Structure 1
Amino acid sequence: MKSKFIPEDLKTRCSWCLGFAEYVTYHDTEWGVPVYDDRIHFEFLVLESAQAGLSWSTILKKREGYRNAFADFDYEIVAGFPESYVQELLQDKNIIRNVLKIRGAINNAKRFMEVQLEFGSFSNYIWGFVGGKPIQNSLKSMENAPATTPESDRLAKDMKKRGFKFLGSTTLYAHMQATGLVNDHLVDCFRYKDLRS
C-alpha cells in the first residue's frame, strides 16, 4: 500500500488530502474558499463533470492539461468549440478523452452563459441556493460528510432543467464543497477556523 504524503509543517488537515503534495496545496489554498468569480466556477464545473467515475486526484493531475485544452476555462470560447476541435480533444492525453464529457463541457458553457444573462452572473445564481453565505458544517470525520444535501438536490434539479449535463447532485455537492458554498473541512483541520471566520 502506498504511504501517505505527510507535509513537514505537521498541521492537522482533512485526511483525504494526504495523497500527494499537489493535493495538500489544493486543500490548503483552494478547497472550501468561497468563490464568486464565474470563470473559476466554470473551471470547477468542467473538472468535476470530467471526474464522474474517477478520483479527484486523477483530475487534479490533469488540471493543467484542461487549462490548455479548454482555453483557460473561458466559457465564451468553449461554447464555440467546433466539432473538429472535439475530435482534436479526443486525441489529447492530457485530459479525460471521453466524447460525452467533452461535448457536455461545451454544452455546459452555453447553458452557463444563459444563466449569466438571467441572473447577472453564475455566482449570483449558485449562491442563491445557500442563501448567499457558506453553510458551516461541523464534521468530525469525513465519514460524516454527506454525498448530497437538499441544497445540492435542488441545484442539480434546476441545472438539469436548464440543460446542464454530467452535473448530478453528488457532483454538485463536491462543487459546493470546493467553491466554499459549504465548509466541510473537519473541525480539527487548521483550515476549518480560517474559513469559518
Structure 2
Amino acid sequence: MSIKNLEPFRDILNRAIERKGSKSIVFAMAGVNEPKPDLAQISDDRWLAQFSKQIFQSGFVWRVVEQKWPGFEEVFFSFDIEKILMMPDEMWEAKCKDERIIRNGKKVMCIKDNAQMIYEVSEEHGSFGQFIANWPKDDVIGLWAHLKKHGARLGGNTGPYALRFLGVDTFLLSRDNEAYFRAYKLIDGGLNTKKSQTMIQDCFKQWHDETGFGYSALSRILSFSVGDNVVGMR
C-alpha cells in the first residue's frame, strides 16, 4: 500500500548531495554499488562472533572492544559453536574472569545463549547463514524481532548493527533517521513499537521500489540528508 505524502527519495538524495558535495561521494559513503555477500556462505562461528562483538560494543567504547577482540577469538575457540556448547559451567566461570577479554559476566554468558540459538537454527536450516539468506527481504523488522525473541541481548540496535556488519541489507533506526520520521510526522509513538517500525519499514520499501537502492544504502542516504553530518569526503 502506497504511503500518502511520503517525500520522493530523489528529494532526500538531492539534500544529501548538497550537504556532502557530490553524488559520487554520497553513493560511495552509502555503499550504493557495493557487491552483496553470499550470506549463506558465512559460517556459523562468524555470526556468533559478530553478535558477541556487537553486544560488548553496546554501551561501551567500540575502540576498546576492537583492541580486545583478538583475545575474545582466542578465549572462545574462534567462536566454534560446538566447542562453546561443550564447555562446562566451571570453564564458563573461568572465561568470565579471563584478562584477555572484557570481564562482563552477563555479556559473556550471552555468547553461550546465542551459540545455542545458532546451533538450533542450523540444525533446522542447514546453517544460520542459510536461514538469514532465506528470510524475506522485505520483512526486516520480522528478522529483528526473531533475533530479539530467540537470542540474548540482540534487541534494540544490537542485532540490526550485527546484521549490517555481515552484509545483511537492513536499514537502521539511527538518531538521524528517527528525527526524520518524527519531523515528517510519519511516526509519533515509541521508536521500538511494532506500529512505528512497520511504518518505517513501509517507507523504506516504497523508496526501494522508487529507486532500486537497497535498504542499507537508503538508510545511510537518509541520515546524510538530516542532522549535523554535513561535511563529506572532499
Shorter-chain TM-score: what band? 0.5 to 0.7
Show the counterpart of 2:154: 167
Gaps of 5+ in 2: 1-24, 30-35, 170-213, 222-234
**1:155 and 2:143 are equivalent in the alignment:** yes
Show the counterpart of 1:86: 92
Distance 1:51 1:130, change over 3 A: farther
**Percent identity of equivalent pairs:** 24
- Paired letter, 2:128: F
**1:178 and 2:165 are equivalent in the alignment:** yes
Gaps of 5+ in 1: 1-11, 15-31, 136-149, 188-197
Aligned counterparts of 1:114 and 1:33: Cα–Cα separation in 2: 23
Describe the SS at the equivalent of 2:154. coil
Q: TM-score, normalised by structure 1?
A: 0.62
Distance 1:180 1:34, change over 3 A: farther
Q: How does 1:67-78 map to 2 (within 5 A)?
A: 67-78=73-84
Alignment size in residue pairs = 141
Checking the alignment, whether the CA contact within 8 Å between 1:75 and 1:109 is kept in structure 2 is yes
Aligned counterparts of 2:99 and 2:164: Cα–Cα separation in 1: 28
Q: Cα offset for 1:33?
A: 5.3
* Superimposed CA distance per residue, residues 68-103 of structure 1 (whole angstroms, 9 cap, x where no aligned partner): 111111011111222211221222222121111111
- Paired letter, 1:51: Q
Show the counterpart of 2:21: none
Comparing both structures, which one devotes a greater share of its residues to helix? Answer: 2
Pairing partner for 1:109 from 115, 135, 142: 115
Checking the alignment, whether the CA contact within 8 Å between 1:49 and 1:166 is kept in structure 2 is yes
Describe the SS at the equivalent of 1:53. coil
CA RMSD of aligned residues (A): 2.6
**1:118 and 2:124 are equivalent in the alignment:** yes
Q: Cα offset for 1:56?
A: 2.7
Q: TM-score, normalised by structure 2?
A: 0.53
Checking the alignment, whether the CA contact within 8 Å between 2:148 and 2:159 is kept in structure 1 is no
Checking the alignment, whether the CA contact within 8 Å between 1:34 and 1:181 is kept in structure 2 is no
- Paired letter, 2:158: T
Q: How does 1:127-166 map to 2 (within 5 A)?
A: 127-129=133-135, 131=137, 151=140, 153-162=141-150, 164-166=151-153
Which structure's CA Rg is the greater one? 2
